[in-house]
């Protein structure tokens, strides 16, 4: 994948500053450079994952369009959230079936987005897609997941884009059926917000209901930067993501 900023075309950071972001927002080199230059000062320069984590890289065909699959809520974002959800689930001792369910949920949580804007209802659409195609997702993951855990994953997907204080009575009931999965998926999604082109949109951990270990935000930042740079340098989604993950697993 090449740099998507054409000569004379504003980068995402400039467009965001001007409140002119387009419907589809693929990463560009200037924006990634700005994000890298603004790495939080307290972040370790050489972060690493203290334990391995499963990551599912979704297929481009799972997304509404190929253009959306390659954009800022596309394949790479969903794969990173898949890994971050697994790491958080492992951190807090969730059962193996729920860890696998979160891996799947992270990989598809934004797959039914129509654009990179707010797009209300995309969580419900992704959950409906997942219920119909759970077998496809678990085959890609290489692991069987019990029906009950898949049901909890779908509930987490459906609620991931709804703020806690906006839950309807029905959504509050759904949350109570899978609170840990919802909390972890929301936290993992939040941790990949370093990809957004304004700092005020970066992770606000005070909004979360699960504590985030100190090592994870800086590792999430590095995972984003390394995978996006690899993609801009021409790597496939899968290669960009797995290379970034492996470099952090080795602490390089």
* Residues making up the chain, counted from first to last: 252
Quote the pLDDT of residue 252.
Answer: 53
Asked if residue 214 is part of any domain, the answer here is yes
Q: Report the predicted TM-score, pTM, of the whole model to 2 decimal places.
A: 0.96
The number of domains in the chain is 1
Report H helices in the chain: 12-17, 29-37, 66-69, 75-91, 96-108, 122-141, 147-159, 169-177, 179-191, 215-232, 237-249
Asked if residue 1 is part of any domain, the answer here is no
Separation between Cα atoms, residue 143 and residue 46, nearest integer Å: 32
For residues 185 and 4, is the Cβ–Cβ distance under 8 A? Answer: no
Quote the pLDDT of residue 38.
Answer: 97
For residues 33 and 234, is the Cβ–Cβ distance under 8 A? Answer: no
Asked if residue 6 is part of any domain, the answer here is no
Asked if residue 94 is part of any domain, the answer here is yes
Asked if residue 64 is part of any domain, the answer here is yes
Asked if residue 209 is part of any domain, the answer here is yes
Quote the pLDDT of residue 233.
Answer: 98
Concatenated DSSP letters of 22-83: -S-----HHHHHHHHHT--TTS-SS---SS--------GGGSS-HHHHTSTTSHHHHHHHHH
Asked if residue 5 is part of any domain, the answer here is no
Asked if residue 7 is part of any domain, the answer here is no
Is 39 exposed, middle or buried, given 0-12, 13-18 or 19+ CB atoms closer than 10 A? middle
Q: Which domain holds residue 204?
A: 12-40+51-249
Written as tens digits, the pLDDT of the chain (252 aa) is: 444 445 457 999 999 999 999 999 999 999 999 999 999 999 988 899 998 899 999 999 999 999 999 999 999 999 999 999 999 999 999 999 999 999 999 999 999 999 999 999 999 999 999 999 999 999 999 999 999 999 999 999 999 999 999 999 999 999 999 999 999 999 999 999 999 999 999 999 999 999 999 999 999 999 999 999 999 999 999 999 999 999 998 755
């Amino acid at each position: 994948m090449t740099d998507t900023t054409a000569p004379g075309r504003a980068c995402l950071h400039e467009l965001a500053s001007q409140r002119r972001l387009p419907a589809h927002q693929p990463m560009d080199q200037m924006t990634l450079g700005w994000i890298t230059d603004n790495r939080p000062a307290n972040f370790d320069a050489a972060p690493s994952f203290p334990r391995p984590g499963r990551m599912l890289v979704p297929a481009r065909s799972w997304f509404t369009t190929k253009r959306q699959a390659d954009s800022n809520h596309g394949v790479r974002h969903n794969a990173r959230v898949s890994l971050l959800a697994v790491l958080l689930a492992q951190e807090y001792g969730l059962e193996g079936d729920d860890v696998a369910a979160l891996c799947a949920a992270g990989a598809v949580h934004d797959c039914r987005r129509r654009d990179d804007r707010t797009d209300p209802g995309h969580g419900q659409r992704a959950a409906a897609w997942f219920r119909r195609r759970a077998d496809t997702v678990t085959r890609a993951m290489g692991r069987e997941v019990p029906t009950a855990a898949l049901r909890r994953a779908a509930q987490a997907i459906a609620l991931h884009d709804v703020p806690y204080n906006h839950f309807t009575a029905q959504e509050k009931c759904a949350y109570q059926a899978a609170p840990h999965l919802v909390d972890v998926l929301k936290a993992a999604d939040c941790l990949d917000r370093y990809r957004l082109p304004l700092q005020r949109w970066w992770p606000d951990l005070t909004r979360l209901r699960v504590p985030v270990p100190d090592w994870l935000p800086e590792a999430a930042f590095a995972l984003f930067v390394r995978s996006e740079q690899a993609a801009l340098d021409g790597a496939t989604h899968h290669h960009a993501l797995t290379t970034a993950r492996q470099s952090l697993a080795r602490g390089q």
